[in-house]
Structure 1
């Protein structure tokens, strides 16, 4: 005797197909959650937590060769240079907050053969922390490590190699990595840690 096809079989197939699609969708969501396709800066800040400084799309507008104050009197000139990791200014300087801070300098079309960077900074004063290491890199390449003493302004002078400038002819992106940054109060997050104040910055022809 031959079997009689169930009139509900097509509906069952549709239901099974719907369940399979739902499972596939859920698996895709889980996969993308575990392997998000996001920009490196976003991943470093929000997912890996490997930085406290989220890169911002600031212009870096800068007149090549001028000294920009990061004290209270230089806010308008300093603002276009501050990518992330800065707070203030507060009186005698702008606080770096977190474990790194960034600056961006837009570059002119014609550059001199030698480009020179000058930073004036000071380590914050806090019991048990007489100094702060400041690891300085530009366009992804290490330049130098400075040691700033608490309360004593330090001028850091760096000749920026041509191959570093050539990484991005349109701008120089500076990163100050601050491995000795301090939690000033219990419960402070990494993004609130303190280390140095930046007093001034200059990028121009070597003198």
Structure 2
């Protein structure tokens, strides 16, 4: 068997992480993640993912023009067997298109589920108050936001600059894997300070 120690550790962490994804566990996980994250890699991947989304979905581009901030998580891995965990890094782009901060998304889920899924998502934050939520000390629980709208094909067709002056609009893209029915319940976003 040719499994390296780091790979073995990552697999073990993925299996036990849900048990530790509680309020008190987010801070040490966030610090450890930030030390190994690369600003250049995260922002480059996020910008490429956003450009691809805009190229394929005019509604998303409309939201981007009106949004106070656009938070992009280009690569998220979700896996589980009954208990699931998901994680990924992302970037907040401001109205001017510049990088305003780096964030991690992490979450735990429970219930009937099996498999591994890779995907990305973009949150269009339509007002400065939604942007401010990102920097709460304990992190922002996305699924608890009353103004969250997960955009599907039907909703995308009705998006105009006159219909979206507040709230948070989520686009999920590049879904690959065995899981279905993605939910933002239990997902928390926390600011990170990548080490390089």
For this structure pair, what is the TM-score category when the shorter chain's length is used for normalisation? under 0.3
Larger Rg: 1
> What is the TM-score with the length of structure 2 in the denominator?
0.24
